Amino acid sequence: MQVVGFAGVARVGKSWSTNALKEEAERRGWKVFIVPFAKPLKDEAERLGFGKDKDPKAYREYCQNTGAAKRAEDANHWLDKWYMLIREVQKEEHKDDSGTPYLVLSDDVRYENELGAIRKSGGVSVYLEPGDRVLDAASATWRKHESEAMANSVLGNRDVFQHMFDFFVLNKGEGHNLKPWAARFFKDVVSCPGDLKDRCDCEGCQAALENRPVDTNKLNAELDDLLNEIDKKVNGDEDDDEDA
């Protein structure tokens, strides 16, 4: 079972990106489960009548207030419930003798312990960046809630938080640009389990995985380094021949 978790500020496109990757994986024959960390909380809100479509404001307030209260009592309260859902997926996978690969996607990584759960599950973490896009309700007070703190801290500070996430991916909000990214990310990351350090980290490949334009300065520098290495090898071989 593969696990991918998406983080980022509210309305950056976490669900959008998750669905793009889901569609690509299903197209490739994988069985996909979207298991948000907040699913147990959201299910509870729905049971109590706080419907997201019925009253979005009341629904958000209930989820934020109740989520924070339970988390204050036990930081892993909701995380433990997420693990229970993951174990159900694992049980189904173990019973499935078809050989179908399983993929779990979490589109709401908001806390560091949730990020740690992705790592503990052997998964991959993705932080979505809006680029220069102005997000909806950019100045809304709910963006200051503790559930947004991690994502807000990382936004615009990639160099400081680079170690926290496996990938930083650009989402400009243009739906059509996610399909090529999803296809490349699935091929190079999801369907190739193993140490991410073993994958190609050249600027061309990195730009494709991060869904951004190639940095031509970096690419040219890498090409120069490659040519220098080839030149040293060729000249070194010629020097060896002369010595012989």
Taking residue 11's Cβ as centre, other Cβ atoms within 10 Å add up to 17
Q: Using an 8 Å Cβ cutoff, are 196 and 189 in contact?
A: yes
Please write the tens of the pLDDT for every residue from 108-135: 999 999 999 999 999 999 999 998 888 8
Task: Work out the pLDDT band at 238, boundaries 50, 70, 90.
Answer: low
Q: Give CA–CA dist 78/71, Å, rounded.
A: 7
Please write the tens of the pLDDT for every residue from 55-75: 888 998 999 999 999 999 999
What Cα–Cα distance (Å) separates residue 118 from each residue in 82, 114, 123, 131, 225? 11, 7, 5, 25, 35
Q: And the tokens for 226?
A: 């490659």
- Looking up tokens 């220098």, which residue turns up? 228
Q: Using an 8 Å Cβ cutoff, are 142 and 59 in contact?
A: no
According to the CATH classification, is domain 2-213 in 3.40.50.300? yes
Please write the tens of the pLDDT for every residue from 10-50: 999 999 999 999 999 999 999 999 999 999 999 999 999 98
Bridge partners of residue 102, in order along the sequence: 31
DSSP 212: S
* Residue ranges per structural domain of the chain: 2-213, 215-244
Candidates 10, 22, 184; CA nearest to 104 is 22
Task: Work out the pLDDT band at 198, boundaries 50, 70, 90.
Answer: confident
117-153 exposure pattern, b = at least 16 Cβ within 10 A, e = fewer:
bbeebebbbbbbbbeebebeeeeeeebebebbebbee
Please write the tens of the pLDDT for every residue from 137-173: 888 888 998 999 999 999 999 999 999 999 999 998 7
Q: And the tokens for 171?
A: 């989402």
The per-residue pLDDT for 89 is: 97
Q: And the tokens for 15?
A: 């669900």
